A = this chain, B = another copy of it.
Amino acid sequence: MEIKLTTYPSEPCCNLDISGEEQTQLIAMFKALGNPTRFEIMKFLVTHPTCITGDIVEYLPIAQATVSQHLKVLKQAGWIGGITEGPATKYCLQEDNIAWFREKVGYIF
Contacts from A to B (Cβ < 8 Å)? 8-10, 12-16, 23-24, 27-28, 30-36, 39, 42-43, 46-47, 49, 93, 95, 98-99, 101-102, 105-106, 109
Contact = CB atoms under 8 A, between A and B. Distances in A.
A44 to B, nearest CB: 9
SS of A interface (majority): helix
A106 to B, nearest CB: 7
Given A49-B8, A105-B109, A42 B16 contact: yes
A34 B31 contact: yes
Residue in A30, A98, A99 with the greatest tally of chain B CB atoms within 10 Å = A30
A38 to B, nearest CB: 9
